[in-house]
Structure 1
């Protein structure tokens, strides 16, 4: 599908809004919503990557750059929130796995 330059800018702006929603979900520890929003974000990204690149100039280029900056900022904040959660989850999985191995080894 061929996207116009207006379509491209609009898609970037939609992705920036979704990134903001993802950040809110991460702040709320709403991991299910975060995962759903990530899927929506990926869908828009696929639309962009499947289209022929269109040169942007002036205000369109500024809007695109602004949207990308917003997405990068939200992504950084989301990573700051999810990294400790992922570490705790990994530790819990590791502990459970270790407990099972010990239980099997000692017939508990």
Structure 2
């Protein structure tokens, strides 16, 4: 069994990754963002394995809550940046698809 401080440290590591993800999103570095998402997923999977069975002191619980709040705030900002970009990309893909269909249909 792992200690409560280790669990909170794992959450803090996720917070560090999400902060890096936010920076990547702000820089529109989608490749870096994707790699960091993979890292984040792995860390969250590790946390899931231990979090529910690891007791926390009230102090550690408060620390964990603060870290989770920061992770959620960063995640919201990431979505605020990426959702419009995804909509733009989706529109570009639709336009490209339509152009290809038109070219196939009316190509001489």
Question: If the length of structure 2 is used for normalisation, what is the TM-score?
Answer: 0.92
Q: Secondary structure at the match of 1:55?
A: coil
Q: How does 1:78-97 map to 2 (within 5 A)?
A: 78-97=78-97
Q: How does 1:2-17 map to 2 (within 5 A)?
A: 2-17=1-16
Q: Secondary structure at the match of 1:29?
A: coil
Number of positions where the alignment pairs a residue of Structure 1 with one of Structure 2? 107
Q: Secondary structure at the match of 2:54?
A: coil
- Find the counterpart in structure 2 of residue 59 from structure 1: 59
Residues in 2 aligned to 1:88 and 1:53: alpha-carbon distance in whole angstroms: 43
Structure 1: which 4+ aligned runs deviate by more than 4 Å?
Answer: none
> Once the two structures are superposed, what CA deviation does each residue of 1:24-62 show, in whole Å capped at 9, x if it has no partner?
111111111111111111111110112252121221101
- Find the counterpart in structure 2 of residue 43 from structure 1: 42
Kept after mapping to 1: 8 A contact 2:4/2:57: no
- Find the counterpart in structure 2 of residue 18 from structure 1: 17
Unaligned runs of 5+ in 2: none
- Measure how far apart 1:106 and its partner are: 1.1
RMSD between aligned residues: 1.2
- Measure how far apart 1:105 and its partner are: 1.2
Residues in 2 aligned to 1:7 and 1:89: alpha-carbon distance in whole angstroms: 40
Residues in 2 aligned to 1:90 and 1:9: alpha-carbon distance in whole angstroms: 38
